[in-house]
Structures are given as structure tokens and as C-alpha cells.
Amino acid sequence: MRTAIRTLCILALFAAPAATAATSAENSGSIVENLKSTDAAKATQAAEEIKKNGTAGPEAVDALAGAIRHPNEMVRLTVIEALSEIGPDAASAVPALTGALKDEDPMIREAAALALFSIGGPAADAVPGLITCLGDKNRPVRNSALLALVKLGREAVPSLTKALGSGDERVRSGAATALGRMGADVVPDLMKVLESGRDPAAHAAMAALAGIGGPAADPLIRLMLQGKDPAAERAAQTLEQMGAPAVPGLVNALRKK
């Protein structure tokens, strides 16, 4: 009798994970189906469940991406927030999120930019859309796009450098701020723009270099010491804008003279 009971217990232990797995698979299938539903409440609840878990398989990610086109704003917002929680594993949703950067609702545009920030490197194809968002009328949208671009780093630099010459002042300012936060790695790119002399790009590059501070000081000092060329004057103005971080390099240059 005891042997029989023990055998049943062992069988129950082995059977439990299988039952759990079956239930999990069933739940996953249900969530995917609900995400595809035209019923806003069902789709929102499914997205909320994924958002809470912070993880999802490829099929669920694809369903979330498809739901970004849902006519209900709350569904769109919730599925984007769920994709943001998933992070890099939501890379296949980048095209849909890039499209959401044009949504008429600023909260959804902001959420899409933050989701792209969360995804990181795999979101490189979204750079043009994010740069467009730097000119958005809504400040939180602009700020979120800036964060995403800074995180993308070198992937975003060529487009950001080009954006320094944009006819939109907000885009120029946002691009300069983004590049200024990237640090020493982008100094050579910005120096080329500054030396080109083409306004307003050159002035935007000056703002970015001043924002970088110390790592940009020596190249600017070398350019300034070349003479009265307009580029040298711009370098001097940038060092003045930079302030304290430029002082050690300037003192060292004076000692060498």
C-alpha cells in the first residue's frame, strides 16, 4: 500500500510541470488571440498582462506590433508600453513603433519613442523617425526621442550631424543636444561641421561641442590657434561657451607658447 501511494506521489510530481506548461501555453495562445481582437477591453487586458510580466515570445510580440494599428487609443498606448517592458526582445516591432511616432496622439508618440529607447541597438532603423520627432510640438515627445537617439549612439551620429543643418530650429537644437551628450566619440564629426562654416549647422555644432566640454577642448584650441580664419573664431567662441572645462587646455597651450 505504501509503495502504491509513493508511486502515485512521484507520478503527480512529474505530471504537475506538464500541466503547468499546458496551462501556460493555453494562456499564451489566449493572449495572442485577444491582442488581435477588435474588442478594445480584451486587447488592452492582454497587453496589460504582457506588460506586467515584462516578457513575451515572438508570436506575442508580433501580435503586439499588429495591435499598434488598433483604432482604440488605449489599446495602442498599452501595447506600446508592453513592448517597452519587453525591451530588445521586441526588435521585430521596430517598424510598427516607428510608424507610431506619427500617431496623432502625443502620448502615443512619446510612448513609441520610449519603447525604441528600451529596445536600443536593434532600433537603429528608427533614427530618421526619431530625428523628425526632435521637431515635435510636444516637449515630452522631443525629450523621449532625444533619449532614444543618445542611446543608439554611433548608429545615429551621421543622421544627427546632418540634422544640425535642418531648417527647423527645434530639430537643430535637439540634434546638438543629443550629440553633446554622446561625448568624446563624436568630437571629430562635430569639428568637421564646425570647420565647414555652413550656417546654421556650424553654430549648432558649436553648441554640441560646448556641451561635451573637456574632451572637445584640445581640438578647439588647436583650431583657434591657427589664426583669424572664421573657423578659428568659431572655435574661440565655443571655448568661451564651454567655460571652466576649457581652462586646463588653454593654460597648457599658453605655457607652450
Cell 523617425: give the residue.
Answer: 129
CATH code for the domain of 175: 1.25.10.10
Low-confidence residues of the chain: pLDDT under 50: 2-26
Residue-wise pLDDT tens digits, 30-72: 889 999 989 999 999 999 999 998 888 999 999 999 999 999 9
Do residues 67 and 43 lie in contact, with contact meaning Cβ atoms separated by under 8 Å? yes
Q: How far apart are CA 257 and CA 253, in angstroms?
A: 7
Is residue 190 located within the same domain as residue 145?
Answer: no
- Picking from 139, 155, 171, the residue at the C-terminal end of a domain is 155
If asked whether residues 141 and 161 sit together in one domain, one would say no
Give the structural domain span for 87.
31-155
Same domain, 129 and 38: yes
Residue 1 resides in a domain: no
pTM of the complete model:
0.84
What's the total number of domains in the chain?
2
Nearest-angstrom CA–CA distance, 206 and 212: 10
Q: What totals of helices (H) and strands (E) does the chain contain, helices first?
A: 15, 0
Asked if residue 151 is part of any domain, the answer here is yes
Query: Within its chain, how far is the Cα of 199 from the centroid?
Result: 28
Backbone angles phi, psi at 123, to 5 degrees: -95, 15
Residue 198: per-residue pLDDT? 80
If phi > 0 it is left, if psi is from -120 to 50 it is alpha, else beta; for residue 87 that is: left
Q: Is there a contact between 108 and 71 (Cβ–Cβ < 8 Å)? A: no
Predicted pLDDT at 20:
36
**Do 132 and 163 fall into the same domain?**
no
* Cα 15 → chain centroid: 44
197 and 142 co-located in one domain: no
Same domain, 100 and 71: yes
Q: Are residues 143 and 132 in the same domain?
A: yes
- Measured at the alpha carbon of residue 160, what is the angle toward residues 138 and 107, in degrees to the nearest 5? 20
Asked if residue 171 and residue 138 are part of one domain, the reply reads no
- With the CA atoms of 189, 205, 142 and 60 taken in that order, what torsion angle do they form, in degrees rounded to the nearest 10? 0
**Does residue 20 belong to any structural domain of this protein?**
no
Q: Could you give the CA distance from residue 240 to residue 246 in angstroms, rounded to a whole number?
A: 8
What is the predicted pLDDT for the residue at 51? 93
Residue 5 lies in a domain: no
Work out the number of other CB atoms within 10 angstroms of the CB of residue 46.
Answer: 26
Same domain, 84 and 186: no
pLDDT at 21: 35
213 — alpha (psi -120 to 50), left (phi > 0) or beta? left
